[in-house]
Chains A and B, each alone.
Chain A
Amino acid sequence: MSAAAPALAKEPRRTVAMRLADPAAMLAYVSLAFGLLLVLFPLGFPHIIIRNWQNARLTPIMILFTVSLNLGLYLTITYQRSARPGIIASACLGSVPVFVLAALNLVLQATITHTFSGNIPNAPARVDEEILAQTYFAIVAAIFAPFLLIRLGQQFHKSNQ
């Protein structure tokens, strides 16, 4: 009876190890959806983005979208691999998109100032396109950057061990 006890004892679950290929597939689908919306609704979709940017709602919406997507993906992978989520990785997934999107919002402000300050023809239409492009790149960065940091952190931890 006593010999069976160690066999029945639960092995502590290891922290999930992320690979960049995991978020890459999801990010590719998000990116394709963005492209599809641009092709199917060439006026309506950009108009929604620009209107939300003008109302200062775009960055909070993007933060909510990317953080929930990142955490959802992380928990799904954790569940699939029967591992436990790491605290630092979760904190990274929750905070890095906020910093990235806030920083890129400042870059967008600088871009708009730069476009309007130069005597460029058709400046308002150019600004709309710049907002659209930078929104797309910001979504990509906010999804990919936390996973890249987690991956680099894992490599660093492994080489230290």
Chain B
Amino acid sequence: MGAPGIHQLAADWMSAKWLLWISLYAGLGIVLPWCMTRAWANQHKSDLRPRVRQVFQYGELGLVGLMMAISVIWDLQKSGYTSYTIALGSVFLAMSGIMAGAVWVEAYCRRNTGIRFTSHRAWRDSRNLALLVFSLALVTEILLDRFSKVTGL
């Protein structure tokens, strides 16, 4: 009775690996830079206590979104889906990733040319578009997980 239980547990854990995958991105892409900023401030006895919003105020979250989109496109390309589905998914992920990355590009250009720049807008745009890429990536990974089970049957 013990062995099947362990197998069952392992199977359940493997089916939730997309959760680990997505937490890696959220952890390494968002929480880690914020923690490092605090650690740096602590090390240098500084009063700097930035919030996540301040760390990513120039739209850097858009770049995190773009990275995430690239890695999901890579996973999609390796999957057993038909070429139509792979093409559709890749195009939508690439589009949303590029739009997210473009927020940082726009913020950079505005700051360097002196054209009106508001960090509030850059933060809001990058946050919303990164959330979109994050949700697209999450659901695509769930779909890939389901599909790998079907092809493995």
A35 touches B142 (CB 8 A): yes
> How long is the Cα–Cα vector from A120 to B82 in the complex, in angstroms?
11
- Which positions 66-109 of chain B face chain A at CB distance < 8 Å? 80-82, 84-85, 88-89, 92, 95-96, 99, 103
- Residues in chain A near residue B84, CB distance under 8 A: 107-108, 110-111, 114, 134
> How long is the Cα–Cα vector from A2 to B150 in the complex, in angstroms?
78
B132 touches A38 (CB 8 A): no
> How long is the Cα–Cα vector from A46 to B124 in the complex, in angstroms?
34
Interface residues on B, range: 20 to 34
A21 touches B82 (CB 8 A): no
Q: With A28-B128, A28-B132, A34-B139 in contact, is A130–B82 under 8 Å at CB?
A: yes
- Residues in chain A near residue B89, CB distance under 8 A: 133, 137
CB B117 to nearest CB in A, in angstroms, measures 15
- Residues in chain A near residue B125, CB distance under 8 A: 19-21
9-residue interface stretch from A6-14, A69-77, A87-95, A140-148: A140-148
Interface membership of B147, Cβ < 8 A: yes
Interface membership of A122, Cβ < 8 A: yes
Interface membership of B146, Cβ < 8 A: yes
Q: With A27-B132, A126-B150, A141-B92 in contact, is A133–B85 under 8 Å at CB?
A: yes
Q: Which residue of B lies closest to A122 (CB)?
A: B153
- Which positions 94-153 of chain B face chain A at CB distance < 8 Å? 95-96, 99, 103, 124-125, 127-129, 131-132, 134-136, 138-139, 142-143, 146-147, 150-151, 153
Where the two chains meet, the residues of A that have a C-beta atom closer than 8 Å to any C-beta of B are 19-22, 24-25, 27-29, 31-32, 34-35, 38-39, 42, 104, 107-108, 110-111, 114-115, 122, 125-126, 128-130, 132-134, 136-137, 140-141, 144, 148
> Closest 9 CB pairs between A and B?
A31-B135, A21-B128, A21-B125, A35-B139, A24-B132, A24-B128, A28-B135, A28-B131, A25-B128
- Give me 17 A-to-B residue pairs in the complex whose CB atoms sit less than 8 angstroms apart, sorted by A's number: A21-B103, A21-B125, A24-B132, A25-B132, A28-B131, A39-B142, A104-B88, A114-B84, A122-B153, A125-B150, A126-B150, A129-B81, A130-B82, A133-B89, A133-B143, A134-B85, A136-B139
